[in-house]
Amino acid sequence: MIVHWLRNAESECAREGWTCLPDAIRYIQARNPAPGPKKYGCSSWRQILHEARVFEMEKRTDSSSGATVAWYRSRLSALSN
């Protein structure tokens, strides 16, 4: 179910093919506050992306804050399943 929510967020929030994870989390929580990492036995949203094995993930440095932010996108092979 959480993969479904992450894909919905991806389709609504993606920029140039990638989705900023904090944007996706806000999108998901605004529509359904129930899904979260602990519900799925994970300690973080990044762990969920990793464990699902259907997303690519990269870290980017935010130019305004200097913080490292996770971005994700669906793996092409996962889209055909």
How many domains, the chain?
Answer: 1
Q: Are 69 and 77 in contact (CB under 8 A)?
A: no
For the chain, helix (H) and strand (E) counts, in that order, are 4, 3
Positive or negative: CA dihedral 71, 45, 3, 52: positive
What pLDDT does residue 34 have?
79
CA diameter of the chain: 38
Domain range enclosing 28? 2-79
Task: Indicate which CATH number applies to the domain containing 46.
Answer: 3.30.420.610
User: Tens-of-pLDDT digits for all 81 residues of the chain?
Assistant: 899 999 999 999 999 999 999 999 999 999 988 778 999 999 999 999 999 999 999 999 988 899 999 999 999 755 555
What pLDDT does residue 72 have?
98
What pLDDT does residue 63 have?
86
Amino acid letter, 35: P
